[in-house]
A = this chain, B = another copy of it.
Amino acid sequence: MKNRLEEIRKARGIKQEEMAEALQVSRQTISSLENGRYNPSIILAFKIARYFGLSIEEIFIYEGEGK
């Protein structure tokens, strides 16, 4: 799974820490997601989508194979 988190966040001039606070997760979680260390839970994916005003599919890209 790829995602456009860093791209979208930076385009809006938001810091990881602000975003983390708004989503009620730790800054490390945002960093981990941006750097592909793991995938978000579906709950967090929904929160992120809502936060950016986008759909999950616009942010997270599932290619089919792999993780």
CB within 8 Å for A40 and B42 given contacts A56-B56, A56-B57, A57-B56: yes
- A14 sits at the interface (CB 8 A): no
Q: Smallest CB-CB separation from A63: which chain B residue? A: B46
Contacts of A60 in B (CB 8 A): 42, 46
- A1 sits at the interface (CB 8 A): yes
Give the distance in Å from the alpha carbon of A46 to the alpha carbon of B3 in the complex.
13
- A10 sits at the interface (CB 8 A): no
Give the distance in Å from the alpha carbon of A56 to the alpha carbon of B42 in the complex.
10
- A26 sits at the interface (CB 8 A): no
Binding site for B on A (CB under 8 A): 1, 39-43, 45-47, 50, 55-57, 60, 62, 64, 67
